[in-house]
């Protein structure tokens, strides 16, 4: 469409086509170095993974894998353990994403306010981001320990002294969710802070003159202008959280009693403990498709609102 719109007049056609051809050749030469890594490191593994999902591949020695069509998926339908982990994964990713947004918004508003030591507190808010997930997980394991600081605080307020937060069936999932929120907050905060700074001061001033209080200004000015950013960061957060692995793997390995068995953990166990590569690939594919559907629905509804 755009091609025809900018097509030059007929008289100079021959000359420009040669130019266009050289340009095109140059473009291709420039694009190939960027495309090759994508093909090799992203597209190929993706296709490989999709193909694997339709085979009975295992990690046995010198075993040829066979094409089994939809057998893996048929088996997956009746796999109650997988669907249970799917449910846990949804609880985990939805609560972490929502809490991240709420807490990140609060922190962003605070950091956006003209307070003293602004530069220092902004750097401080980034600290969780600077730590590798495994270090974060080990640190929180120490906090949640029976003899750890959390129990000391709880018992100082008269609570029980020896809750084993990560081993207790009722507290394990909430406990890892808190860590998930903590570790993911910097991204959300920084993105929202950047968004808040884009909101023109004039709007706030005008509203203030019209007698709008802080709450109204936040709700009527900040939130609507932030909508595309909120939509982007929540959908990214959701994908990251749904696929999260390292944090929970180090903290609980899916325990106790499978209470924190996120779908990615379950898939990992299926692939590298049970060595059912094909079946695990099918699980991965289901997860990808699920996230895609959910995301397209969410983004579609968000941007439809924007158009209105």
CB of 90 to other proteins, least distance (A): 19
CA distance 284 to 306: 33
61 binds other proteins per the rule CB under 8 A: yes
> Which of 22, 35, 42, 301 lies at the binding interface for other proteins (CB under 8 A)?
35
The H-assigned helical ranges of the chain are: 2-5, 13-38, 44-52, 71-77, 80-112, 118-125, 133-144, 149-156, 172-198, 201-209, 214-217, 223-242, 246-251, 263-272, 277-307
CA distance 98 to 191: 15
142 binds other proteins per the rule CB under 8 A: no
Asked whether 241 and 180 are in contact (CB, 8 A), the reply is: yes
CB of 148 to other proteins, least distance (A): 12
CA distance 302 to 146: 44
CB of 280 to other proteins, least distance (A): 12
CA distance 166 to 170: 9
How many residues belong to the site for other proteins (CB under 8 A)? 37
258 binds other proteins per the rule CB under 8 A: yes
From 36-44, 99-107, 128-136, 175-183, give the range in contact with other proteins by CB under 8 A.
36-44
Nearest CB to other proteins, comparing residues 224 and 246: 246
> Which of 39, 153, 223, 293 lies at the binding interface for other proteins (CB under 8 A)?
39
> Which of 49, 128, 133, 256 lies at the binding interface for other proteins (CB under 8 A)?
256
Residue list 67-106, contact with other proteins (CB under 8 A)? 75, 78-81
Asked whether 303 and 231 are in contact (CB, 8 A), the reply is: yes
121 binds other proteins per the rule CB under 8 A: no
273 binds other proteins per the rule CB under 8 A: yes
Nearest CB to other proteins, comparing residues 165 and 238: 165
162 binds other proteins per the rule CB under 8 A: yes
Token pair for residue 269?
């166990």
Token pair for residue 40?
């090799």
CA distance 282 to 291: 14
Q: Which residues bind other proteins (CB under 8 A)?
A: 21, 24, 28, 32, 35-36, 39-40, 43-44, 58-63, 75, 78-81, 146, 162, 164, 167-169, 255-258, 266, 269, 272-275
């Amino acid at each position: 469409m755009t091609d025809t719109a900018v097509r030059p007049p007929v008289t100079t056609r021959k000359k420009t086509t040669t130019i266009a051809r050289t340009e095109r050749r140059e473009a291709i030469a420039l694009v190939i170095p960027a495309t090759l890594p994508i093909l090799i490191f992203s597209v190929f593994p993706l296709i490989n993974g999709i193909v694997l999902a339709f085979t009975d591949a295992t990690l046995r020695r010198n075993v040829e894998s066979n094409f089994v069509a939809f057998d893996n998926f048929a088996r997956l339908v009746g796999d109650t353990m997988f669907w249970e982990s799917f449910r846990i994964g949804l609880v985990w990713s939805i609560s972490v994403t929502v809490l991240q947004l709420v807490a990140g918004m609060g922190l962003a508003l605070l950091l956006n306010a003209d307070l003293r030591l602004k530069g220092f507190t902004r750097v401080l808010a980034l600290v969780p981001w600077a730590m590798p997930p495994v270090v974060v997980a080990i640190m929180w394991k120490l906090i949640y320990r029976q003899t750890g600081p959390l129990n000391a605080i709880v018992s100082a307020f008269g609570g029980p002294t020896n809750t084993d937060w990560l081993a207790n069936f009722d507290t394990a999932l909430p406990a890892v969710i808190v860590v998930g929120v903590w570790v993911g907050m910097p991204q959300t905060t920084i993105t929202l802070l950047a968004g808040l700074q884009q909101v023109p001061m004039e709007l706030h001033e005008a509203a203030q003159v019209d007698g709008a209080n802080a709450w109204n200004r936040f709700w009527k000015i900040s939130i609507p202008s932030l909508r595309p950013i909120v939509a982007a960061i929540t959908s990214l957060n959701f994908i990251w959280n749904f696929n999260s692995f390292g944090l929970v793997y180090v903290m609980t390995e899916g325990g106790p009693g499978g209470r924190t068995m996120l779908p990615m953990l379950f898939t990992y166990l299926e692939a590298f403990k049970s060595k059912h590569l094909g079946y695990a690939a099918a699980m991965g594919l289901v997860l990808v498709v699920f996230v895609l559907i959910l995301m397209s629905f969410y983004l579609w509804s968000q941007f439809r609102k924007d158009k209105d």
